[in-house]
Amino acid sequence: MSAAEPPQGANSAPRGGSEAAQPRAWGDHTGETVQAPPGRSEVERVKDASDYLRGTIVQSLANPITGALADSDAQLIKFHGSYQQDDRDLRDERRRRKLEPLYSFMVRVRAPGGVVTPWQWLVLDELARTHANGSLRLTTRQSFQFHGILKPRLKETIAAVNETLLTTIAACGDVNRNVMCNPNPYQSALHGEVFDWASRISEELKPRTRAYHEIWLDDALVAGGEPDDEPLYGRTYLPRKFKIAIAVPPSNDVDVFAHDLGFIAIVDDDARLAGFTVTVGGGMGMTHSEPATYPRLGDVIGFCRPEQMLAVTQQVVAIQRDYGDRSDRKHARLKYTIDDRSVDWFSAELAARLHAPLEPPRPFRFEHNGDRYGWTEGVGGKQHLTLFIENGRVQDAPQMSLMTGLREIAKVHDGDFRLTANQNLIVANVDPDKRLAIESLLAGHRIEVDGRSAVRVNSMACVALPSCGLAMAESERYLPTLIDKLERVLDESGLRHDAITVRMTGCPNGCARPYVAEIAFVGKSLGKYNVYLGGGFAGDRLNRLYRSALSEDEILAELTPIIRRYAAERRSGERFGDFVIRAGHVSEVTSGRTFHA
Ligand code: SRM
Ligand code: SF4
């Protein structure tokens, strides 16, 4: 291969823009020759042949014979914000009855920073009841999911989301996903500024293909068939999903180190936004028993001023586009690109593309990665209420009419709603004279504002069964029960008000970011969980596998003495995650590569 050829794994489409954004030779800027990947994965072939994400989605939607899409369209539809799923609770029974699985679709909304208006909330709420399974799911990336949408209703659901001025494009797929940012409007005016940057990055990295509008919004093809262009992504988009978050210290609620690209807001002496300390190469996903896969925390590589942020973002994405592994999807995230070549290589490549190195990183200090609950007062006299939404599921239940109550609040609220990265909800920017009305609606629908244990409000679980095709164990439907039992031990030990982060996922993919929790339960098989201990309370340290494949009884038998010992022996202010390392229950994990050591 000549030095002028792009890497085999890179897109061949024109990338436009500055010289720095042009296709680069396979090999880094130092001239070192790097082996091209052996071949491309099947998903790469599907993307390449898709004509910028069109595939045969229109035909698949129109096919009345099956509730599913053609296989290649099931891959492509992710870029449009939807996943084909089937109800796993019904799988065996339908197989016995020789019926095809009960296919339905999950639809994920993209809402940068998790901010929506009351009107948007009302439309999403109605869609959930009329088109989906009657519940709304608040996700770990500050967005909404609908589950259980049948194929004939998919198009009108996506169109209705767009009528609210929200979208679903690029909520999933090998592109930049929903951009997260700290949602708390009460800490300072800085949050407004940071939210604007999250929205700008989101817009900047949105795919440019018109396929989305043609398929879902009935936009006619442009006369003359003007070709689509993806100036940043190219024909085959990124090798894998890409995630960005902006944190505002002292809160690391967005888990900035779990992201491919992270920005940590730095304020100057006048409390104005000076810029961002930049992190790269974070990610959670791994596969049980495959040590070549591992979670990794992002590395701090420098500092950028606000006006450099979009260029930094574009070039980080472009490096991953050009160098990410397109042959093996389990090795395709930016974290592996960086570990394979080194952080120094990455920083030098970025500097070459930006025509200047980043400034040295500026210091920051995180205190926690959880949410702060209850009412607070912010700038301009507005009030904000953070509500704990257990595992992000908004639905009515006999003990609490959560969905109805939030709907009634949306009808009278004239501020906004903000989703947190911990699956919770802020009723934000409430006029002081509206507070009483909101409080009475909360009480009327038995929605608790406080009173729960600290462990519960610092817990979260991914969706898992019955909708997630990758789940090996229950998560959302089971964690509340396990927390009930852990609460008993914690209460007896006098720890009811001590926050400990607990996260559960139904498989090792890490959708609730379990590997930064102080205690994590990761599904191994039905009813069995790997238990990890020792994550940092501020989401700044990976945890370590403590025991494998434990049942509920075994989990309680293992954790009870550790919790009691923590209550008796902890030092002043010592967090559970720090204690378990000091007490020798697990050793500290200092890098992703040593996660399995
Ligand atoms: Fe996730 C795949 C749900 C946040 C890592 N994730 C899935 C799928 C789509 C399963 C699938 O591929 O068939 C799940 C759909 C379940 C369902 O029925 O709804 C799913 N992920 C979720 C959500 C809804 C979990 C939740 O309970 O909130 C989150 C949606 C966020 C959003 O609004 O965009 C969600 N997923 C995450 C996160 C957390 C984050 O991004 O901060 C991670 C870990 C961070 C990371 O990406 O490294 C995450 N999801 C994964 C992975 C592993 C990726 C990897 O690098 O190995 C998969 C599997 C895959 O991509 O092959 C996955
Ligand atoms: Fe599904 Fe696994 Fe993600 Fe949970 S962690 S939602 S089980 S992919």
Q: Is 170 exposed, middle or buried (0-12, 13-18, 19+ CB in 10 A)?
A: buried
The pLDDT assigned to 525 comes to 98
Q: Indicate the angle between helix axes 479-492 and 552-569, nearest 10 degrees.
A: 30
Confidence bin at 227 (pLDDT 50/70/90): low
Q: How far is the CA of 353 from the centre of ligand 1 (A)?
A: 30
Higher local confidence (pLDDT), 277 or 30? 277
The alpha carbon dihedral of 442, 106, 511, 384 has a sign of negative
Q: Is the CB of 324 under 6 A from ligand 1?
A: no
Confidence bin at 21 (pLDDT 50/70/90): very low
Comparing CA positions, the residue from 512, 530, 516 lying closest to residue 577 is 516
Structure tokens at 376: 């607070």
Please tell me the distance from the alpha carbon of residue 554 to that of residue 565, in angstroms, as a whole number. 18
For a substitution probing ligand 1, which of 43, 140, 257 has the most ligand atoms within 8 Å of its CB? Answer: 140
Confidence bin at 23 (pLDDT 50/70/90): very low
The pLDDT assigned to 14 comes to 31
Under DSSP, the state recorded for 447 is -
Comparing CA positions, the residue from 497, 491, 537, 522 lying closest to residue 595 is 522
Please tell me the distance from the alpha carbon of residue 567 to that of residue 96, in angstroms, as a whole number. 51
Q: Is the pLDDT of residue 32 over 70?
A: no
Structure tokens at 224: 């003359």
Q: What is the maximum alpha-carbon separation in the chain? A: 75
Q: How far is the CA of 522 from the centre of ligand 2 (A)?
A: 9
Structure tokens at 89: 């609770």
The pLDDT assigned to 221 comes to 53
Please tell me the distance from the alpha carbon of residue 169 to that of residue 171, in angstroms, as a whole number. 5
Question: For residues 413, 419, 423 and 424, what is the CA-based torsion angle, rounded to 10 degrees?
Answer: -40
The pLDDT assigned to 219 comes to 77
The pLDDT assigned to 186 comes to 67
Q: Is the pLDDT of residue 582 over 90?
A: yes
User: Nearest C-alpha to atom 10 of ligand 1 is from which residue?
Assistant: 468
The pLDDT assigned to 184 comes to 81
Q: CA 287: distance to chain centroid?
A: 18
The pLDDT assigned to 38 comes to 60
Q: Average pLDDT of the chain?
A: 92
Comparing CA positions, the residue from 161, 126, 144 lying closest to residue 407 is 126
The pLDDT assigned to 6 comes to 37
pLDDT digits (tens, 9 = 90+) for 372-410: 999 998 878 899 999 999 999 999 999 999 999 999 999
Under DSSP, the state recorded for 526 is T
The pLDDT assigned to 19 comes to 30
The pLDDT assigned to 11 comes to 40
pTM of structure: 0.94
Instruction: Reply yes or no: is the peptide bond before residue 64 cis, omega within 30 of 0.
Output: no
Q: Are residues 109 and 161 in contact, defined by beta-carbon separation less than 8 angstroms? A: yes
Q: Are residues 514 and 520 in contact, defined by beta-carbon separation less than 8 angstroms? A: yes
Q: How far is the CA of 478 from the centre of ligand 1 (A)?
A: 18
User: Nearest C-alpha to atom 3 of ligand 2 is from which residue?
Assistant: 511
Which residues contact residue 417 at a Cβ distance below 8 angstroms, ignoring those fewer than 6 apart? Answer: 115, 116, 117, 118, 121, 410, 425, 426, 427, 428
Instruction: Reply yes or no: is the peptide bond before residue 14 cis, omega within 30 of 0.
Output: no
Q: Is the pLDDT of residue 9 over 50?
A: no
pLDDT digits (tens, 9 = 90+) for 64-106: 999 999 999 999 999 999 999 999 999 999 999 999 999 999 9
Any idea which of 28-42, 122-136, 468-482, 558-572 has the lowest mean pLDDT?
Answer: 28-42
The pLDDT assigned to 218 comes to 85
* Atom nearest to 464 CA in ligand 2: 7
The pLDDT assigned to 10 comes to 40
Please tell me the distance from the alpha carbon of residue 423 to that of residue 330, in angstroms, as a whole number. 26
Please tell me the distance from the alpha carbon of residue 70 to that of residue 54, in angstroms, as a whole number. 12
- Which CA distances in Å does 544 have to 255, 497, 533, 555, 559? 18, 25, 5, 15, 15
Per the annotation, the verdict on 241 as an active-site residue is yes
The pLDDT assigned to 228 comes to 78
CB atoms within 10 A of CB 169: 21
Q: Which residues line ligand 2 (CB under 6 A)?
A: 462-464, 468, 470-471, 475, 505-507, 509-511
The pLDDT assigned to 226 comes to 59
Q: How far is the CA of 570 from the centre of ligand 1 (A)?
A: 35
- Which CA distances in Å does 40 have to 8, 37, 44, 234, 294? 9, 8, 6, 16, 22
Please tell me the distance from the alpha carbon of residue 135 to that of residue 459, in angstroms, as a whole number. 20
* Atom nearest to 512 CA in ligand 1: 39
Q: Is the CB of 392 under 6 A from ligand 1?
A: yes
Of 241, 326, 353, 513, catalytic: 241
pLDDT digits (tens, 9 = 90+) for 107-139: 999 999 999 999 999 999 999 999 999 999 999
% residues pLDDT > 90 (the chain): 88
Stretch 25-34: mean pLDDT: 32
In three-state secondary structure terms, 15 is: coil
